[in-house]
Structure 1
């Protein structure tokens, strides 16, 4: 018999495979960007994204991972989800716990779309590294709990999906060690459009595609809370398709063995 953690992992992988097939075969998905493959990522000792760490995911030329931070937010998150659905494409959403608590229906939309739901702290301090260690850990843990309660109705000793991104990439050796001990993988990014800066959707798309065309692969960071990003995403997905880029969807691999907090 499968344990609780093994059962959740099996269900996650089965759902991911089912959704992948359903998306690719669904009417209206022919000729869309789609999701090229699902990559199972071992969260243990994981620190990836060359904007923050020396290494990144093992992606081939032309492969990208789409990630969105800071949500959910009414209006913009829904628009991003609609654009992803229209292109039969999946992404990872690093959500803020207090936003998750305020908008649980949006979390359920994220999950219903087959996307990965991950964590971005409870209050999005800039930065966690500037807080006393105990307060930073409490904010991280509250983010795990608040997000899981909003998305799944309950929270256990470990986060449901052990992926975390530091707000502003503001990590510290002590916080990285804490998450590593918890079995939680840390994601940075390889490129972005800098969508925290005001610009038009067209300007943002041009900047992002120029950077991607130079780099050719990587974890892409965007914010589903930004109006300009929500307006850009449909054209961005079309540009990825027309230029032959392939989207890789990340899910956790291995048994869920994150230790309970002390």
Structure 2
């Protein structure tokens, strides 16, 4: 069996094991705040963190920013380097709106953990350069594409001086399962949870509509929206 097939099999196994990890973190009274070689799954206090992946996108990112501005919510946008290269203006707009920029790899390859270690480092480093060139700010947070972590991925993240960030609430909005389903999933969030949504990679109209419905409900419950690992304070 080739080395590539071995790495893919390993990555797929990790992918499914992480479903179980996230289920445990979701049920914990306080999800893990992370460590050098362990991703952030939670945030402290009476807070949640909204994270938005796969952008920037010329249609959905501006709509997401307008929505967040109306509710005065600060989020973390995990950006794909190749998309930042195409639309550096949107990366700057996200930053100017008060949000935090995170690294989500250069080309979003999957399964990410199947990449050779040098390729993982290149994906991370190239995105750091793209975001810094576009905005003048170097990200401090990293999310592996698909949440596909491995020892090599976590090691490369740490060596790059980045904090690995995962999630506890995943409405699978990238599948476009319907506004009601996404809304219900987001509304299950409670203090400590990290929420995952997307503004890139496809039609995100359902995500925007679901957040419009869910965010006021979460705010009404007294939840504050913060940044994982207090990055960008």
Decide: shared fold, TM above 0.5: yes
Distance 2:48 2:108 in 1: 25
Match of 1:188 among 166, 174, 185: 166
What's the CA shift for 1:168? Answer: 0.7
| Partner residue, 1:175 | 153
Distance 1:239 1:133 in 2: 42
What's the CA shift for 1:46? Answer: 6.3
Where do residues 84-103 of structure 1 align in structure 2 (5 Å cutoff)? 84-103=68-87
Where do residues 78-227 of structure 1 align in structure 2 (5 Å cutoff)? 78-152=62-136, 160-209=138-187, 211-212=188-189, 215-225=190-200, 226-227=204-205
The structure in which a higher percent of residues are strand is 1
What's the CA shift for 1:127? Answer: 2.1
| Partner residue, 1:20 | none
Counterpart contact for 2:107–2:123, Cα < 8 Å: yes
The RMSD of aligned alpha carbons is 2.3
Gaps of 5+ in 1: 1-41, 51-55, 153-158, 255-262
Change (3 A) 1:253 1:246: closer
Secondary structure of 1:48 counterpart: coil
Where do residues 66-81 of structure 1 align in structure 2 (5 Å cutoff)? 66-81=50-65
Distance 1:182 1:249 in 2: 19
Counterpart contact for 1:43–1:183, Cα < 8 Å: no
Distance 1:219 1:123 in 2: 24
TM-score, structure 1 normalization: 0.69
Rg (Cα) greater in structure: 1
The structure in which a higher percent of residues are helix is 2
| Partner residue, 1:252 | 231
Distance 1:127 1:230 in 2: 27
Q: Is 1:64 aligned to residue 43 of structure 2? A: no
What's the CA shift for 1:94? Answer: 0.5
Distance 1:75 1:108 in 2: 15
Distance 2:194 2:37 in 1: 14
Distance 2:90 2:129 in 1: 17
> How many residue pairs get matched?
197
Where do residues 30-41 of structure 1 align in structure 2 (5 Å cutoff)? none
Counterpart contact for 1:68–1:224, Cα < 8 Å: yes
Secondary structure of 1:105 counterpart: helix
Q: Is 1:235 aligned to residue 228 of structure 2? A: no
Gaps of 5+ in 2: 1-32
